[in-house]
């Protein structure tokens, strides 16, 4: 299984200990924190990484990647400093970041996904364009949060929180689902879900979780 998380504009302060891994050198390691603990906001509050069981945290280190505007892809244990950078930002000499990452991220996600297991994409539509796993859409499921807009919809805060709770539920289950249908079984334990098949070949599945 591969769980793809978005970053968050909200960041928690550094812990004051530890060494950074993505950076070759860092004069002040105390400005760093593991990625899974650095990001804040509703999604990461729903995930609540600090209270994951030891087994779930080991599974997170193995099965979770975080798509970042600055770093591309991160593993939960990668130590990074707090930063502010949106994926739509334009940088001097680079211009927009999204097209740059789109040349690299899809293949990296495909490699991370391996030859088996479901891919659970918990990113919002804003971050999905930087890259989706290539050539394995039949194993990929996009997580949405209902009810539909026609029924009043849900707030952005609730949507993010429910996605974080979904990641936590998958990790705490200890399961390694092979396909989106098994993902739906796991996430359907406790709240209603609806799984929709791909609109056409080459497109991912869509799983809607009904918010409380």
Q: What is the pTM of this model?
A: 0.88
The pLDDT value given to residue 96: 78
Is residue 142 a contact partner of residue 193, using CB atoms and an 8 Å limit? Answer: no
Closest CA to 112 of 166, 59, 75: 75
Residue in this structure with the two tokens 């892809």, named with its chain if needed: 73
* Cα 69 to Cα 89, 149, 186, 189, 201, distances in angstroms: 9, 28, 30, 33, 29
Span 95-116, mean pLDDT? 90
pLDDT digits (tens, 9 = 90+) for 41-79: 999 999 999 999 999 999 999 999 999 888 889 999 998
pLDDT digits (tens, 9 = 90+) for 142-185: 999 998 555 667 899 999 999 999 999 999 999 999 999 999 99
**Structural domain boundaries in the chain:** 2-210
Q: Token digits for 13?
A: 């302060």
Asked whether residue 22 carries a pLDDT value surpassing 60, the answer given is: no
**In Å, how far from its chain's centre is CA 92?**
28
């Amino acid at each position: 299984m591969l769980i793809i998380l978005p970053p968050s504009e909200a960041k928690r302060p550094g812990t004051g200990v530890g060494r950074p891994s993505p950076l070759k050198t860092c004069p002040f390691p105390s400005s760093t924190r593991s990625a899974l603990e650095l990001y804040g906001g509703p999604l990461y509050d729903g995930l609540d990484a600090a209270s994951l069981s030891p087994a779930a945290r080991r599974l997170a280190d193995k099965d979770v990647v975080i798509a970042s505007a600055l770093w591309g892809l991160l593993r939960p244990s990668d130590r990074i400093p707090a930063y502010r950078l949106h994926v739509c930002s334009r940088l001097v000499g680079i211009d927009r970041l999204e097209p740059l990452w789109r040349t690299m991220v899809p293949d990296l996600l495909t490699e991370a996904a391996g030859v088996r297991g479901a891919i659970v994409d918990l990113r919002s539509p804003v971050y999905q364009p930087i890259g989706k796993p290539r050539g394995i859409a039949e194993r990929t499921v996009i997580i949405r949060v209902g009810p539909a807009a026609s029924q009043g919809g849900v707030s952005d805060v609730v949507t993010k929180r429910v996605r974080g709770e979904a990641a936590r539920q998958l990790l705490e289950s200890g399961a390694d689902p092979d396909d989106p249908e098994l993902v739906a079984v796991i996430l359907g334990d406790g709240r209603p879900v609806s799984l929709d098949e791909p609109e056409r070949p080459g497109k991912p599945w869509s799983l809607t979780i009904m918010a409380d």
